[in-house]
Amino acid sequence: MPTAASADDLLGHDHPGPRGRDLIMPMRHALTLEMRLAILAIKEAAILDERVRRIDIYQAVFDGGARSPADFEAWFTAHGPSGLTGWRPGSRGP
């Protein structure tokens, strides 16, 4: 039975940015309980906002210090989405 392809599979190995699987270990090493709770609260608040990509939430929490939906909104207003991103936890860049 065929399985659904992940975005990583569709992008192939020559995709220039990080793939989801490339983010797992750096996030696990850097994630605190406070950050996890912030991510969950922000995701819940932004669930219907089509402008918000999940990677933006992670970037705002990890590198922008966002800890609440209001913090995220301020970060998102200042930074917003910028297309494909090469961001990884701790990279402090787009």
Model pLDDT for residues 21-30, shown as the tens digit of each residue: 666 777 777 7
Is the pLDDT score of 33 beyond 90?
A: yes
Give the pLDDT of residue 34: 96
Q: Is the model's pTM score more than 0.85?
A: no
Give the pLDDT of residue 5: 46
89 φ/ψ sector (left φ>0, alpha ψ -120 to 50, else beta): beta
CB 43 within 8 A of CB 60: no
Residue 69: pLDDT band (50, 70, 90) is: very high
CB 75 within 8 A of CB 64: yes
Is the pLDDT score of 94 beyond 50?
A: no
The C-alpha atoms of residue 40 and residue 65 are separated, in whole angstroms, by 14
